[in-house]
Chains A and B, each alone.
Chain A
Amino acid sequence: MIPGDFEYYRPNSLDEAVQLLATHGDDARVLAGGHSLIPMMKLRLAAPEHLVDLRNIASLSGVSESGGDITIGAMTTQTELITSTVLSEHCPIIRETALLIADPQVRYCGTLGGNVANGDPGNDMPALMQCLGATYILQGPDGMREVEARGFYEAAYFTEMNDGEILTAVRFPTPAAGHGYAYKKLKRKVGDYATAAAAVLLSMKDGNCVSASIALTNVADTPLYAQAASDALVGTTIDAAAIDEAVALAEGITEPASDGRGPAEYRTKMAGVMARRAILEAKERAQ
């Protein structure tokens, strides 16, 4: 439970951070809140020789809404997501999800950027970002580029991000006013990763569903955007039949591992139960 040796850096600018990563290549890792990376270092599952701490780079924090988009800096902590008035007003599902992550101590340190960049299928924010249709903004030695959250995750801990790149922010369209939402997470206890979780965002018009977006957490080696399940709701009144179909389609794309939370079969079913409950609550909340 003691990490290997490493050098620690705390650059004051993004350029400096990118430079440090370029200099040290493979042996360097970005450090954000440290609540995924440091546990892995203690178990020696990760042994970076150079840690580049981003906490002094002020431009990486904060939440803003403009031009129909919400942008959240990568270093914004989960606590800041919970207390942000912009998010409570325009996108309350982020607060709902963040409150289900770990415990207050973890949330004071853990960042949105670290949560989505880590590539851990257990993390809750990646599926939520897929649900919201978010774009990740990456800065590397060759400049800036953007990657869709729905195309970002390749396998557990493998993402589209290249060595030497830093995630600076996520951006997503502000959900329509009156949208319905819910994040439902089954876990064994406070501080546990999901047995299964589902994020649902939808809009209703005259009793019909006009848009829907469903994503699942920790039921495959990446977060899952449930396109077919989402589509199954659109154009319906979200009646029992539509929900059954969406749930079955959501269950169908899962490929969970068996672990202490339960065997694969159970986790698939729980993805369905969470999706069902999230759809019902989102429908209830939609105006």
Chain B
Amino acid sequence: MSDAATMTLEEREATLGGVGTARKRKEDVRFIQGAGNYVDDVKLPGMVFGDFVRSPYAHARIKSINAEVALAVPGVKAVLTAADLKPLNLHYMPTLAGDVQAVLAEEKVLFQNQEVAFVIAEDRYIASDAAELVEVDYEELPPIVDAFKAMDEGAICLREDIQGKTEGAHGARKHDNHIFTWEIGDKEGADKALETGEVTVKELVTYQRVHPSPLETCASIASMDKIKGELTLYGTFQAPHVVRTVASLLSAIPEHKIRVIAPDIGGGFGNKVGVYPGYVCSIVASIVLGVPVKWVEDRIENLSATAFARDYHMTGELAATKDGKITGLKCHVLADHGAFDACADPTKWPAGFFNICTGSYDIPVAHVSVDGVYTNKAPGGVAYRCSFRVTEAAYMIERMMDVLAQKLEMDPAELRLKNFVQPAQFPYNSALGWEYDSGDYPTAMNQMMQAVDYAGLRREQAEQRDKVARGESRSLMGIGVSFFTEIVGAGPSRNCDILGVAMFDSCEIRVHPTGSAIARLGTKSQGQAHETTYAQILATEIGIPSEDIGIEEGDTDTAPYGLGTYGSRSTPVAGAAAARVGRKIRAKAQKIAAHLLEVAEGDLEWEIDRFKVKGLPEKEATMKEIAWAAYNNLPEGMEPGLEAVDYYDPPNMTYPFGAYLCVADIDVDTGETSIRRFYALDDCGTRINPMVIEGQVHGGLTEAFGIAMGQEIAYDELGNVQGASLMDYFLPTAVETPVWETDFTVTPSPHHPIGAKGVGESPNVGGVPAFSNAVIDAFSHLGVKHMPMPHTAWRVWQQCKESGLTK
């Protein structure tokens, strides 16, 4: 019939554009032409704008709020305060972590830039002008900025709303500013290993407070149709369905009367998982006023008030034999959660999956405990381009491996090789309770070491150190090794839920009569190229070219229920649902093909895009023909149409891994670090689209570089947030960003339908320790064990000074 009949197998594969094809990102056509549709692009008739009055203080009692002058400004529609929300029981909202968070501060403000009042006006300018005119009378209170002082005896109680409550969402609270203690592992065993270890090391490794800082800030538009009783909510939501459920629970509007739409999203990185006061206030304002209400954060608000990440003070301890076999690990974490516990973790995991912190190593016994505390800082604790608290865990163990190697006077790569979980040990049960699905760590490590000529680099480093010692050079060379194991794809319903909703995901597909299709999923791309890669998975499964498969996400009225995109869960969970939905389609297609070709189903075999009769190669039915037949020529009794839906509850997480290496040169006079080389080998199992993977790795490495070398949301002793603008908060530009060398091995996941794992977050997880280790390695010959991140020029210079390299 068509060209398809005369095409070679290779040509048909190429036309299919399925799994393994470096297909160009479909969504970029609109993004690079400025034709994306972000929340701020959405304009509804009669829409008004909200802006917040925020607290200038980190800790203060609110004595009074007077909005009279603001209300008198022409164009101002309303000013909401806690007093207005309280009768609706909306002055606090539940957080994903089982705490509550103030929507608008009632009696106290607990962090600088906390939301105090919401001013709604005809346009943004008026709202902004009027917000300045709301008079709030504060009585300043002493702030707690240092997490280590939060639980001091006599420390002022920050959260008076839960004062005296000895039981929190995650067990006992031992102080008014204590949130939870989370423990896992064998304490006795780990203590013993540390006591009896031939060699032991201990180090406080702090992962500073950072912010995901997506290019698009958070925003929402609520539109309440009072006649129909229907609420439409547009927003920057990484998990639109969860937002719908939470909105229904909070507002008592039936869930079928709420439609949540997440249009194009300009980056999320965890920042857009949680629910923010702006969303709630825009909803309440729209219900009160009966018109659509838009709220869009500015950059300072984004950096200072919506969810931060990390802020983990991790004390790691390792025990090992003299020849470098690790015998035990202990870690205590002091977790600074800010004013409210608004971490975006699966509900039962208050410290996320931090217990992945045994890393890639076969550590026989381990124990972890985490204490969460309140401080006068913004709430959050989201997974900034990583699975829940996995970057923290990877940073701790990869730093500790270097600390141990130094103590053992062993090469850090050799120490890692010596302790790897071996290929034959998979599926591997870690001491802290995870079942690693698959991996081949030694192969990846050796491939990396060969590619970069690791031994040669170490020789060069030794020569360079001599030159510096002789006064012939003012440049130190550092080599950072990092070998990480991620845990992504939350997750199995037996251990992962969000507010009781199991963390499955979904795909629904409709194949049209002419052989094209539309598929919808429960996840939500924020730039990860879902429209490209899901279509490839489906193409391979059902034999329809990926170009002919439209992908839609983000509209809760049309997409099947899903838990959204974060923690690299899209491919492991929704991608699996896509593969399985494709298999359902193909199974029905096979029945139709048998009918068309007048043979038994079992006489057919699949080839790229069609069924063929075994032994009679000229007798075949293409998917295109089958799709048409599904609507007009079906076997007796078969339901017409070609549609399917699949909800996938993964049996396990997936465990991507990788071997990274960073070579850094440090100018000892200025403390500036220049990244000479960065090599990243990633194993994410089956590779759906190598080009997309490479893009994800480049992006994640760039963020890791930003974090390790400059990002920090710092506070002064009064709790004033420092440098919450892009002048100070380090987003690397193309000029600073190093050149990335990427590589891969392929160890498929045994339980994922197509063997794929996640990849989007691996480079952040593995990248941060590689940079940090490189900087610190530059000083290791001088006895330096650890240096605080971020490794800004002045901090590194400080070390140069302490090491006597400069005056």
**B-contacting residues of A (Cβ < 8 Å)?**
1-2, 4-5, 44, 103, 186, 188-193, 195, 259-263, 266, 269-270, 273
Contact = CB atoms under 8 A, between A and B. Distances in A.
Nearest to A43: B300
B299 interface: yes
Contacts of B132: 44
Contacts of A195: 793-794
Contacts of A193: 727
Nearest to B726: A191
10 contacts: A1-B299, A2-B298, A188-B792, A188-B793, A189-B710, A189-B733, A190-B735, A191-B733, A262-B792, A270-B670
- Main SS at interface, chain A: loop
A269 B125 CA distance: 45
A273 B669 contact: yes
Contacts of A270: 670
Given A2-B125, A270-B670, A273-B669, A189 B730 contact: yes
Contacts of A1: 298-300
Contact of A262 (B128, B710, B794): B794
A193 B672 CA distance: 16
A2 B714 CA distance: 25
Contact of A4 (B129, B733, B792, B807): B129
B64 interface: no
A68 B299 CA distance: 48
B129 A262 contact: no
A261 B798 CA distance: 13
B794 A2 contact: no
B732 A189 contact: yes
A274 to B, nearest CB: 9
A123 to B, nearest CB: 14
Contacts of A261: 794
A5 B730 CA distance: 31
Contact of A2 (B124, B672, B730, B797): B124
A263 B730 contact: no
B558 interface: no
B557 interface: no
A260 B713 CA distance: 11
A189 B793 contact: no
Contacts of B727: 191-193
A190 B726 CA distance: 11
Nearest to A262: B794
B722 A260 contact: yes
Contacts of B722: 260
Given A263-B794, A269-B807, 4 more contacts: A2-B124, A188-B793, A260-B714, A269-B806
B411 interface: no
Contacts of A186: 670, 672, 793
A190 B793 CA distance: 15
B471 to A, nearest CB: 13
B153 to A, nearest CB: 32
Given A260-B723, A266-B798, A188 B730 contact: yes
B463 interface: no
Contacts of A269: 797, 806-807
Interface in B119-145: 124-125, 128-129, 132
Interface of B: 124-125, 128-129, 132, 298-300, 669-672, 710, 714, 722-723, 727-728, 730, 732-733, 735-736, 792-794, 797-798, 806-807
B470 to A, nearest CB: 18
Contacts of B735: 189-190
B66 to A, nearest CB: 20
B48 to A, nearest CB: 15
Contacts of A266: 671, 794, 797-798
Contacts of A259: 723
Contacts of A2: 124-125, 128, 298
A192 B730 CA distance: 10
B363 to A, nearest CB: 38
A103 B586 CA distance: 54
Contact of A5 (B129, B733, B792, B794): B129
A260 B710 CA distance: 10
Contacts of B299: 1
Contacts of A192: 727
A227 B124 CA distance: 51
Contacts of B671: 266
B310 to A, nearest CB: 18
A262 B793 contact: yes
Contact of B710 (A44, A103, A188, A263): A188
Nearest to A4: B129
A257 B528 CA distance: 42
Contacts of B298: 1-2
Nearest to B714: A260
B678 to A, nearest CB: 17
A52 B792 CA distance: 40
B513 to A, nearest CB: 51
Nearest to B299: A1
A2 B798 CA distance: 39
Nearest to B132: A44
Contacts of B733: 103, 189-191
A193 B300 CA distance: 19
Nearest to B712: A260
Contacts of B714: 260
Contacts of B129: 4-5
A273 B667 CA distance: 11
A261 B723 CA distance: 10
B729 to A, nearest CB: 9
Contacts of B793: 186, 188, 195, 262
Nearest to B723: A260
Nearest to A258: B794
B787 to A, nearest CB: 15
A189 B736 contact: yes
A193 B723 CA distance: 13
B736 A190 contact: yes
A242 B408 CA distance: 47
A251 to B, nearest CB: 11
A269 B806 CA distance: 10
Contacts of B732: 189
A12 to B, nearest CB: 28
A103 B732 CA distance: 13
Contacts of A189: 710, 730, 732-733, 735-736
- Can you list the 3 inter-chain pairs with the closest CB atoms, starting with the nearest? A262-B794, A1-B298, A2-B128
A273 B670 contact: yes
A259 B722 CA distance: 9
Contacts of A103: 733
B530 to A, nearest CB: 31
A188 B806 CA distance: 20
A191 B735 CA distance: 10
A260 B728 contact: yes
A150 B104 CA distance: 51
A38 to B, nearest CB: 14
A273 B672 CA distance: 12
Contacts of B669: 273
Nearest to B300: A1
A51 B669 CA distance: 44
A129 to B, nearest CB: 24
Contacts of B672: 186
Nearest to B735: A190
B714, B728, B794 interface centre (most CB from chain A within 10 Å): B794
Nearest to B127: A2
Contacts of B736: 189-190
A1, A5, A103, A191 interface centre (most CB from chain B within 10 Å): A1
Nearest to B732: A189
Contacts of A273: 669-670
A195 B300 CA distance: 22
Contacts of A260: 714, 722-723, 728
A2 B300 CA distance: 12
Nearest to A266: B794
B295 to A, nearest CB: 14
A279 to B, nearest CB: 14
